[in-house]
C-alpha cells in the first residue's frame, strides 16, 4: 500500500473529527439558546453567552477541519504523484512537528480546566460560575478532540516511518 492511501485516510479522519466538532458546536448552540429563552434563574440566564462562545469556537474548529482537509486531499495526491520521496519526507517532518504540540495543548487545557473549577468553586456570582462551567466544557471538548487527533497522528506517523524504511 502506498503512503498516499494512509495520508488520505488521515485526512478523512480529520474530516470526520471536524463533523463531530460541528455536531457538538450546534448542540451547544441549541443549549445556549434554550438557556436564553427558558432560563429563569440568574445562573441559568448567565449560561447563554459563555455557551454561545463555546458553540462559535467549536463550530469554527469543525468548519476549519472539514474545509482544510477537503482541500488538502487533492493537493496531497498531486504532490505525491510529482515526487513520492519528497512527499514522504515533507509529511514525516510536518507530522513530527505537530505531534510535539499535543502534550503542550494538554497542559494548557488542564490549566484552563483547573481555572474553570476554581471559578465554579470559589465564586457565587452567576456569570463567573457560568464562565467556569464553560471553560470546563471547552477543556473537555479539547481533551476529546486531541485524544483522537493524537492517536490518528501517531498512527499516521508510524505508517510514514514504515514507508520510509521500505
Phi-psi bin for 41: left (phi > 0), alpha (psi -120 to 50), beta?
Answer: beta
pTM as predicted: 0.91
Q: What is the pLDDT of residues 71-100, one digit of tens each?
A: 999 999 999 999 999 999 999 999 999 999
Calculate the CA 155 to chain-centre distance.
Answer: 17
- Answer whether 52's CB lies under 8 Å from 29's CB: yes
The domain locations on the chain are: 3-165
CA distance 100 to 136: 24
Span 61-79, average pLDDT:
96
**pLDDT score of 135 more than 60:** yes
**pLDDT score of 3 more than 90:** no
Alpha helices in the chain (DSSP H): 3-38, 42-46, 48-82, 84-99, 101-122, 126-165
Span 6-17, average pLDDT:
95
Amino acid at each position: 500500500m502506498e503512503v498516499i492511501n494512509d495520508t488520505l485516510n488521515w485526512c478523512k479522519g480529520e474530516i470526520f473529527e471536524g463533523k463531530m466538532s460541528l455536531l457538538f458546536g450546534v448542540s451547544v448552540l441549541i443549549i445556549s439558546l434554550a438557556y436564553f429563552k427558558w432560563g429563569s434563574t440568574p445562573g441559568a440566564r448567565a449560561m447563554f453567552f459563555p455557551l454561545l462562545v463555546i458553540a462559535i469556537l467549536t463550530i469554527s474548529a469543525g468548519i476549519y477541519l472539514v474545509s482544510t482537509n477537503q482541500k488538502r486531499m487533492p493537493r496531497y495526491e498531486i504532490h505525491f504523484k510529482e515526487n513520492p520521496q519528497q512527499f514522504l519526507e515533507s509529511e514525516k517532518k510536518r507530522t513530527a512537528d505537530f505531534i510535539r504540540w499535543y502534550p503542550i495543548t494538554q497542559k494548557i487545557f488542564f490549566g484552563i480546566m483547573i481555572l474553570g473549577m476554581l471559578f465554579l468553586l470559589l465564586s457565587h456570582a452567576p456569570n463567573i460560575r457560568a464562565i467556569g462551567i464553560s471553560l470546563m466544557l471547552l477543556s473537555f471538548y479539547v481533551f476529546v478532540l486531541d485524544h483522537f487527533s493524537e492517536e490518528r497522528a501517531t498512527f499516521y506517523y508510524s505508517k510514514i516511518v514504515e514507508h520510509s524504511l521500505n
